[in-house]
Structure 1
Amino acid sequence: MKMSDVAKLANVSAATVSRVLSNPEKVSLETRERVLDVINKVNYKPHIVARQFRTQETKIILVVVPDITSAFFAKVLRGIEHVALKNGYQVILGDTENDVERENSYIDLLLQKQVDGMVLLTAKIDKNKLEELSNEFPLVLACEYVDGLNVPTVSIDNISSARKATEHLIQLGHTKIAHITGPMSVILSRDRLKGYKQAMISHDLEIEPSYIQEADRTFESSYNQTLKLLSLATPPTGIFVFNDEMAMGTIKAAKDSGLTVPDDLAVVGFDNIKMATVFEPNLTTIDQPKFAIGQKAMELLLQLINGEPMKKKKFVMKDELIIRDSTKGE
């Protein structure tokens, strides 16, 4: 089935069918409905490669994530796709598994113009390469970011949100507070550590080096690091953890050590994934507006693709401390 066949059945020109597919707002509602009805009946699929040659567009967006198994990124992706589909774009996904070489291989798709633009939810590749890439192609960073990089970015203020999480524990009377970080190669881990330290210093609390342990974003790694913290001569009474999945590992380690959360150990996570409300005890956490981050990132990418002026490139979304049972008793 060709476009000319669709045009004949709908009693319009092939150009009109093309406009219905690419610029439907330029076609009257009656004609548009008639053409779409034919397209649906005959299951017509436009020839993507041919369209690329004509328009230099693929109508495809690439989203690169560090870990597809993460519940956090799933919600961000949903926000991206919501805006993309509404604007006639399809989304394909690249999972780097936190491997910088795989991140580079996905970027090759942009260089080869196999996609119209890219949203990076991870930013481990060289800063100068990212800068050069953004000067040539539509590119947006979301969730992760790079200091001093002039690329449209959507994120929260990880330093202030980590400070907020730590201060919550301080306000509950805890003075021996530990922090289990994410990988220190990631800027989010470094910024959340900064926020933790700022809170401790501002309340004249000692930062004990042994209270800071690095993990790899997983339940298991945080479980093991928590056991290490609890084995100290003076263990912490509160722990701020890099993300919710890791915080659940911390709670499991506390329970397996015969402790009660929050009576013996208070725990704060980060991200507010869905499991935070199911896990026992329910998790106190920092809520990131995941869906809204995805929406905003895709809106910025569309601006770049369409060549629209962008007055502002850095968008800091609002986070919120959600207090649940892991830091307060009945």
Structure 2
Amino acid sequence: MATMKQVAEKARVSTTTVSHVINNTRVVSSDVRERVLNVIQELRYIPSAVARSLKNDRTHTIGMMIPNNSNPYFAELIQGIEDESFKLGYNIILCNSYDDPKKQVAYIRVLMEKRIDGLILVSSGSDAELSQLLDDESIPKVLVDRELTGVAADFIESNHEQGGYLATKYLLDLGHRNIACVSGPQDLLPSRDRVSGYMKALAEAGVAFREDNLLHSDFTSQGGFTAFQQLLALANPPTAIFVSNDLMAIGGICAANQAGIKIPEELSVIGYDDIALASFSTPPLTTVVQPKYDIGVLTARVLVDRINNSELPFRRELLATGLTVRQSTAPLKSS
């Protein structure tokens, strides 16, 4: 691999001049600049990002931590973040905690050691060590979807309570009254907010909440499959189920099919996220739409603004949700 010294020797300039050409830190005559750039291309010299960061105090690198990359929701969110970051001149280092708070802390320490300019975090639940680490580090950061107590950061999420309300109200408008909810983990704020929306819609319609109609799972297809088995085994099983993400809804539909229950004729199912796979489930899934790509784009912009000006007031952005109606929901059939 070529070195800066070799570039300087072949271009007949000093290493300092090569550095100024690469980093734009001093005016260099056009003929010298062109000569240096031609040699860089000829030798395929790759400047050290670490060395440049030591001089400029910038690596133009953003660290991102997500809970689980097997969830397509995060893939679509990441696409928005990557596209916008690239436009703004930043690269992404992606880490996956697999819902392990300890691994999450370890990875964030690694990212800090890589001298990232900023951090995007979708946390794997609350953790005292994580909160302390982020509080101690002055690095610019944006929290997405899941806020952390005591951490001063920009915060971006979609309106999860509104999403839960829209889903449940739609099922109520179809005539359903025995509506179950398969929520995500109880310790996550988005899960609790979606349940709040579910409860609000039931209360507005004068429908009594049944405790056995609310289950908490883990945002996986297997979790949804198991939850549906439990709900469908009730003495008075629901006629409709609101599920807190599409993966669990698709797993649940599989459980209903195995039990011989027709969807949507005998059971209406509505998911949450509107991942690309939702259009191709059997039947195609009615679901709450999260503006995933838009959240990603906004997240990247907010973080770069914070990197460029640490004195900006912290932003809290709440993006609206919507509803996409497909074939997994239908009006309640009269007995």
1:12 CA drift (Å): 8.3
- Structure 1 contact 131–151 (Cα < 8 Å) conserved: no
For residues 31 and 241 of structure 1, what CA distance do their matches in structure 2 show?
64
Matches within 5 A, 1:3-42: 3=4, 6=7, 18=19, 21-22=22-23, 39-42=40-43
The residue number in structure 1 matching 2:280 is 278
SS in structure 2 at match of 1:282? coil
1:233 to 232, 235, 254: 235
2:305 to 303, 310, 314: 303
The residue number in structure 2 matching 1:66 is 67
Output the TM-score relative to the length of structure 1: 0.88
RMSD: 2.9
- Structure 2 contact 153–314 (Cα < 8 Å) conserved: no
1:219 to 221, 224, 247: 221
For residues 208 and 251 of structure 1, what CA distance do their matches in structure 2 show?
22
1:260 CA drift (Å): 1.1
- Structure 2 contact 278–285 (Cα < 8 Å) conserved: yes
Paired amino acid for 2:185: P
Summarize the Cα distance change of 1:8–1:173 in structure 2 as closer, same or farther, 3 Å threshold.
farther
For residues 227 and 160 of structure 1, what CA distance do their matches in structure 2 show?
27
For residues 318 and 248 of structure 1, what CA distance do their matches in structure 2 show?
24
For residues 268 and 20 of structure 2, what CA distance do their matches in structure 1 show?
59
TM-superposition CA deviations, 1:48-99 (whole Å, max 9, x none):
3322332233322110010011111011111111122223322111111101
SS in structure 2 at match of 1:178? strand
Moved more, 64-73 or 88-97: 88-97
Summarize the Cα distance change of 1:156–1:32 in structure 2 as closer, same or farther, 3 Å threshold.
farther
1:145 CA drift (Å): 2.2
- Structure 2 contact 135–150 (Cα < 8 Å) conserved: no
The residue number in structure 2 matching 1:100 is 101
Summarize the Cα distance change of 1:137–1:259 in structure 2 as closer, same or farther, 3 Å threshold.
same
- Structure 1 contact 61–89 (Cα < 8 Å) conserved: yes
The residue number in structure 2 matching 1:114 is 115
Output the TM-score relative to the length of structure 2: 0.87
Task: For structure 1, list consecutive stretches of 5 or more residues without a partner in the other structure.
Answer: none
- Structure 2 contact 64–94 (Cα < 8 Å) conserved: yes
For residues 168 and 36 of structure 2, what CA distance do their matches in structure 1 show?
59
- Structure 2 contact 64–121 (Cα < 8 Å) conserved: yes
Matches within 5 A, 1:143-222: 143-146=145-148, 150-222=152-224
Summarize the Cα distance change of 1:133–1:237 in structure 2 as closer, same or farther, 3 Å threshold.
farther
For residues 195 and 204 of structure 2, what CA distance do their matches in structure 1 show?
14
Paired amino acid for 2:83: H
Task: State which structure, 1 or 2, has the greater radius of gyration over its C-alpha atoms.
Answer: 2
Summarize the Cα distance change of 1:149–1:53 in structure 2 as closer, same or farther, 3 Å threshold.
closer
Summarize the Cα distance change of 1:108–1:96 in structure 2 as closer, same or farther, 3 Å threshold.
same
Task: For structure 2, list consecutive stretches of 5 or more residues without a partner in the other structure.
Answer: none
Matched residues, percent identical?
A: 34
SS in structure 1 at match of 2:272? coil
- Structure 2 contact 241–270 (Cα < 8 Å) conserved: yes
TM-superposition CA deviations, 1:128-148 (whole Å, max 9, x none):
5266246x1111111222467
The residue number in structure 2 matching 1:324 is 326
SS in structure 2 at match of 1:204? coil
For residues 273 and 27 of structure 1, what CA distance do their matches in structure 2 show?
51
For residues 78 and 110 of structure 1, what CA distance do their matches in structure 2 show?
20
- Structure 1 contact 145–153 (Cα < 8 Å) conserved: yes
For residues 185 and 29 of structure 1, what CA distance do their matches in structure 2 show?
60
- Structure 2 contact 80–294 (Cα < 8 Å) conserved: yes
For residues 283 and 60 of structure 1, what CA distance do their matches in structure 2 show?
37
The residue number in structure 2 matching 1:132 is 135
Paired amino acid for 1:285: T
Moved more, 55-64 or 190-199: 55-64
Paired amino acid for 2:58: E
Matches within 5 A, 1:236-275: 236-275=238-277
- Structure 2 contact 241–268 (Cα < 8 Å) conserved: yes
For residues 184 and 30 of structure 1, what CA distance do their matches in structure 2 show?
64
For residues 323 and 166 of structure 2, what CA distance do their matches in structure 1 show?
7
Summarize the Cα distance change of 1:271–1:133 in structure 2 as closer, same or farther, 3 Å threshold.
farther
- Structure 1 contact 110–117 (Cα < 8 Å) conserved: no
For residues 290 and 210 of structure 1, what CA distance do their matches in structure 2 show?
31
